Amino acid sequence: MMPQAVADSNSTTGEVVAELRKRSAFVMVSHVKPDGDTLGAGLALGLALKRMGKRVHYFQQDPVPRNLRFLPDSDKVARDLPEDLPSDSLWVFGDMSDTSRAGEFLPPIDRENILDIDHHLGNSHFGRFNYVIETECSTGTCVMRLLRAMNVEIDAEIATCLLTTIMTDTGGFMHSNTTPEVLMLSAELMRAGADKEAITEEIFANKRVAAVKLLGRAIDAAKLDHEGRYCWSYVDDAMLQACRADGEDTEEIIGHLRSIEGVEAAALFKTFDGEIRVSLRSNGRVNVQAAAARLGGGGHFRASGLTFIGSLKDAAAAVEAALVAEGL
Ligand code: 5GP
Ligand code: MN
């Protein structure tokens, strides 16, 4: 498959590749509460650039989640950056629709030095270079296009990072973004040595008992509204403490709420760390990206999120209204 220029992005593959070749130093930036896509995409591109003799750093505000620590180079991801970082370093933001998703610890960055690689709906094209392909299943497959265009060998480590992005964002090949093309790419990555066993074990199979207990509580607290089409629940500090769980243990809950028969939209309200993080999921009828955008968030048609400042009661009312406005 030949890499193509992409119509809905304002940079072509060729332009991005030329810039990657031109620069000598890079900072790969992933979003807060990182997932396998933002981190895997940054690590894959970082590893490839290093093999081309470039200097690469990885910036991420939050620590690497336990279940992603098997990824090569993930031990080099940090909130701190070296003092001698060249001023013309290219900052590569992966998997985020604007820079605020990277958190509050980034230094000011000249737009000239920003490459934005993403697959979200409504990406704000915040970089000098924007490689935004909404039809890609993951940011990692956007990176894969670039690696092919650069003729970089996809070795086993890079392949593991890329397959992680695909498996994360397709929910282990379950979501509707799992096209034949995605399966072909995945097969290619496995042939290149991607460690699918490790990905399955670390991300999908290996659950902490705290996470399973927390799932039980959240499901217990769930409500079904709108004749069973809307399922929502919450997790708060007391529930975390009772289960000896932390924020990373909440990942699976929203998928279970959405998977209940008849449910078209699901919401999970996480009321800890002094704010309410909301996750939204859809079965494909209601656009939860549009609903989240009404409240300052974003994401994809079937998976989105936002941060709400206020009480759980107000958050629940605001999210329900946003979903109703999008056809719930
Ligand atoms: P999650 O529910 O897993 O946190 O997020 C689901 C999707 O929505 C992800 O693709 C994520 O990038 C996006 N998302 C989550 N929170 C926000 C947010 O606060 N702002 C934006 N723009 N996107 C978000
Ligand atoms: Mn993604």
Say if residue 148 is exposed, middle or buried (CB neighbours under 10 Å; 0-12, 13-18, 19+): middle
Q: If you take atom 15 of ligand 1, which residue's CA is the nearest one?
A: 305
Closest ligand to the CA of 270: 1
The shares of helix, strand and coil residues in the chain, as percent rounded to the nearest 5, are 40, 20, 40
Number of CB atoms found within 10 A of residue 137's CB? 26
Q: Tell me the CB-side half-sphere exposure of residue 160, using CA atoms within 13 A.
A: 19
Closest ligand to the CA of 117: 2
Closest ligand to the CA of 37: 2
CATH number for the domain running over 13-204 = 3.90.1640.10
Span from the CA of 95 to the centroid of ligand 1 (angstroms): 10
Q: If you take atom 10 of ligand 1, which residue's CA is the nearest one?
A: 299
Pocket flag, ligand 1, residue 278 (CB < 6 Å): no
Find the helix or strand (DSSP H, E) in which 240 lies: helix 237-243
Pocket flag, ligand 1, residue 253 (CB < 6 Å): no
- Domain limits, CATH 3.10.310.30, in the chain: 209-325
Ligand 1 atom with the shortest distance to the CA of 279: 2
- Domain limits, CATH 3.90.1640.10, in the chain: 13-204
- Say which CATH topology domain 209-325 has: Diaminopimelate Epimerase; Chain A, domain 1 (3.10.310)
pLDDT digit of tens for each residue in the chain (328 aa)?
334 444 445 899 999 999 999 999 999 999 999 999 999 999 999 999 999 999 999 999 999 999 999 999 999 999 999 999 999 999 999 999 999 999 999 999 999 999 999 999 999 999 999 999 999 999 999 999 999 999 999 999 999 999 999 999 999 999 999 999 999 999 999 999 999 999 999 999 989 999 999 999 999 999 999 999 999 999 999 999 999 999 999 999 999 999 999 999 999 999 987 899 999 999 999 999 999 999 999 999 999 999 999 999 999 999 999 999 999 9
CA dihedral of 80, 68, 246, 306, whole degrees rounded to 10 = 80
Say if residue 235 is exposed, middle or buried (CB neighbours under 10 Å; 0-12, 13-18, 19+): buried
Q: If you take atom 3 of ligand 1, which residue's CA is the nearest one?
A: 279
Span from the CA of 191 to the centroid of ligand 1 (angstroms): 31
What's the distance, CA 222 to chain centroid?
25
Span from the CA of 146 to the centroid of ligand 1 (angstroms): 24
Q: If you take atom 6 of ligand 1, which residue's CA is the nearest one?
A: 304
For ligand 2, a single-atom ion, which residues have Cβ within 5 Å? 37, 95, 139, 169
Determine the Cα–Cα distance for residues 135 and 36; give it in Å rounded to an integer: 18
